[in-house]
Amino acid sequence: MFMAEVDVYEKLREKISLWPIKVPRTKETMKMLKILFTEAEAEFLIHFKAPYQDPETMPQIIERTGKSREEVQVIVDRLVSRGLLFRYTSRRDNQVYYSLMPMVPGIFEFYFSSGRDSDEKRKVANLTERAYLDGYGLEAGASNYPWARVMPIEKTITLDKKINAELTIFPYEKMSEFIKTSQTMAVINCACRTKKKCDHPLETCLVFGYSAEFMVERGYGRYLDVEESLELLEECEKAGLVHSTTNVQTRPQFVCNCCTCACLILRGISELHNPRAVATSNFLPVRDDGLCNRCKKCVCICPMEAIIYHAAHDSESERILFLEERCIGCGLCAYHCPNDAIKLVKVKDEAPEKTPREAYVRTEAERIH
C-alpha cells in the first residue's frame, strides 16, 4: 500500500511538472500533494494531459479514466470546489472543459485565494514556505526566459528621444490595454499574502476571462468593471505594490500586485537573489536633480532597495544614488515622488513572446537547470 501511494503521488508530481515551473521531488512537496489530494484523486488526475495545454470534456475524461459518469462527476466536483481542478465553459463551442493545473500559477493561487482558513491550509502554507526557501523558489527562475514580468506604472512612463529615437511604448506595456479590452475581470485575495501575512492589502490580484469566472463561481472573488479595475490598480500603487503578470504579449490569466514581504515572484530577487525570477520592464527611472528635494520617499518606497540616500559629510553634499542593477522598472519611485522629479523612461525594446504556448516553448528551450 505504501509503495502504491508513493508511486501515484510521484506520478501526479511528474504530470503537473509538465509545465515550465516544475515541482521538485522533496519531502515538503510530496507532503503537500498528500494533504491536497487523496490517493484516489491523485490516481484520477494522472490520467489528465499537460496542465492548461490540453483541456478535456467530461466524455473524454470518462473514456480516459475508465470510470462511470457518476464517479467522475463526484470527483471533479470535489476537486473544482476546492480550487484543485480547473473548469470552464468554452465560448467557442459552449462545452464544459476540465484542465489539470500546475502548482504555480494554478493550484497555489486558486487554493490559497479562497480566503478560508483551516488547519489543512496552515499546514500547506508552512510546507510551501519551507519548500520555497529550500529550492522550490528557484524553480520559478530556472530559465533564461522568466515566466513572469514586471508591468510599469503606466502614468509614470515616457519616451526620451535623446536616449533612443526608435523606441515605442507597446500595448502590452500598458496595464490599461489589458483591462479595457477584457470581457471579464475579477479581484481575488493575494495567495502569497494569504500564505505569508504582511501589512499590505489582501484583496489585490486581478484575474481575467475563464479564470475570473472560475474564481467568482467558487465564491473566491468578485467581478470588477473597467473603472473599478483601474481604481484597484491605483490603490495598489499607493500601497507600494508592484504589478506583475505572465511574460506574454496577449491578455494574461492574472495580474499580481506584489510585495517583497510575501510575493513568491519578487522574493525570488530580493530574498533568493535569483536574477531570472522575473523579467524586468523596459523602463528605468530618470531623476531631475533640480526638482529633487531629497525627501527620500523614493528611497523608502523602492521594493528592491535600488535607490539609496547618501548623507552629506565633509565636502560632499547629500545625494540620492541609483543602483541600476537592482532596478526592476516598476515605477513606484516616480509615482510617489511629490515633486515629479522622476520619470520612468523607456531604455530598451525587449518584447515577450506573443502567446502563452510560445512562452512555454521558449521557457523550456532556455531552461538552465
| Domain termination site, one of 216, 244, 279 | 279
Residue 205 within a domain: yes
Query: Are 27 and 125 part of one and the same domain?
Result: yes
Query: Are 99 and 6 part of one and the same domain?
Result: yes
Residue 294 within a domain: no
Whose grid coordinates read 489582501?
202
Q: Phi and psi of 295, rounded to 5°? A: -75, -20
Residue 52 within a domain: yes
Nearest to 111 by CA among 9, 206, 195: 195
Query: Are 134 and 172 part of one and the same domain?
Result: no
User: What does the chain come to in residues?
Assistant: 369
| Domain termination site, one of 246, 279, 312 | 279
Query: Are 49 and 131 part of one and the same domain?
Result: yes
Rounded (5°) CA angle 129-130-131:
90
pLDDT of residue 164: 55
Listed in sequence order, the residues at least 6 apart from 216 whose beta carbon sits closer than 8 Å to its beta carbon are 186, 222, 223
Pairing of strands 254-258, 203-208: antiparallel
Listed in sequence order, the residues at least 6 apart from 368 whose beta carbon sits closer than 8 Å to its beta carbon are 142, 143, 144, 276
Query: Are 56 and 115 part of one and the same domain?
Result: yes
Query: Are 14 and 115 part of one and the same domain?
Result: yes
Going residue by residue through the chain (369 aa), what tens digit of pLDDT does each one get? 444 555 899 999 999 999 888 999 999 999 999 999 999 999 999 999 888 878 999 999 999 888 999 999 999 999 998 889 999 999 899 999 999 999 988 888 888 887 667 888 889 999 999 999 988 888 888 999 999 999 999 999 886 655 454 566 777 888 888 888 888 999 999 999 988 899 999 999 999 999 999 999 888 899 999 999 999 999 999 999 999 999 999 888 889 999 999 999 999 999 999 989 999 999 999 999 889 888 899 999 999 999 887 777 767 777 788 999 999 999 999 999 999 999 999 888 899 999 988 998 999 999 987
Strands (E), 96-142: 96-99
Residue 326 within a domain: no
CA dihedral 235, 241, 245, 251 (to 10 degrees): 10
How many domains does the chain contain in total? Answer: 2
Nearest to 279 by CA among 203, 208, 190, 348: 348
> Quick one: how far is CA 91 from the chain centroid?
25
Residue 332 within a domain: no
Residue 202 within a domain: yes
pLDDT of residue 2: 41
Nearest to 274 by CA among 366, 140, 364: 140
Structural domain boundaries, residue 265: 148-155+162-279
Helices (H), 182-326: 191-195, 209-218, 226-238, 267-270, 297-301
- pTM of the full structure: 0.89
Strands (E), the chain: 86-89, 96-99, 148-151, 157-158, 185-189, 203-208, 221-223, 242-246, 254-258, 283-287, 307-310, 319-322, 342-346
Query: Are 187 and 257 part of one and the same domain?
Result: yes
| Domain termination site, one of 253, 279, 305 | 279
pLDDT of residue 1: 40
Query: Are 199 and 73 part of one and the same domain?
Result: no
CATH of the domain at 125: 1.10.10.10
- Alpha-carbon distance 295 to 297, whole Å? 6
Listed in sequence order, the residues at least 6 apart from 117 whose beta carbon sits closer than 8 Å to its beta carbon are none
- Alpha-carbon distance 187 to 203, whole Å? 7
Q: Phi and psi of 303, rounded to 5°? A: -70, -20
Query: Are 179 and 230 part of one and the same domain?
Result: yes
